[in-house]
Structure 1
Amino acid sequence: MALEMRELCERCGTAALAADGPARICSYECSYCVPCADSMDQVCPNCGGELVDRPRRVAVAVG
């Protein structure tokens, strides 16, 4: 089962969340930009869970 790498912040909707960039995520995969997560004191408003650093996917060169 792969982690769903959402591309937009679920709170502000304007911050692009690159797969290799910083983001915060809860255990239900709700995803937020760092400024929104900071303003919510690292607590997910959907489930009340802790927001933690989302793992990053680094692009791999092919060839």
Structure 2
Amino acid sequence: MLELRPNCECCNRDLPPAALDAMICSYECTFCADCAQRVLRGVCPNCGGTLVPRPIRPAGKLAGSPPSVVRVFKPGGCASAPVGTA
């Protein structure tokens, strides 16, 4: 089950469960579409994997399978994050 992390690791922008612009890699590192495309060019800075749109969990399923509340944020931004530091 996906964690549905609540924010972009680069800019700390909120990404609620229904966000259409949330992007993830296979390890669920989470970024907003703007950072994923403009800063990271579609590649996760942590693992080197491809960033793809995060699926939406139906609202009726959130109570039984709530999204994560743990925020992952890199204050220095993620453009300079070395691959392999997930």
TM-score by shorter chain over 0.5:
yes
Partner of 2:30 in structure 1?
A: 31
Paired letter, 1:50: T
* Higher RCO structure (Cα 8 Å, ≥6 apart): 2
Which consecutive aligned stretches of 4+ in structure 1 deviate over 2 angstroms post-superposition?
Answer: none
Query: Structure 2: where are the runs of 5+ without partners?
Result: 61-86
Look up the SS of the partner of 1:42 in the other structure: coil
Which residue of the partner structure matches residue 78 of structure 2?
none
Q: Does 2:19 match 1:21?
A: yes
- How many Å apart are 1:59 and its aligned residue? 1.1
CA distance in 2, matches of 1:56, 1:10: 19
- Equivalent in the alignment of 2:72: none
- Alignment gaps of 5+ in structure 1: none
- How far is 1:57 from its partner? 1.5
Aligned equivalents of 1:49, 1:5: Cα separation in 2: 18
Q: Say which SS state the counterpart of residue 29 (structure 1) adopts.
A: coil
Count of aligned positions: 59
* Secondary structure of residue in 1 paired with 2:57: coil
CA-to-partner distance for each residue in 1:3-55, whole Å, 9 max, x for gaps? Answer: 11100101111x11010112000000000001000111110000000000100
Instruction: Give aligned-pair identity as a percent.
Output: 52
Q: Are 2:11 and 1:12 aligned? A: yes
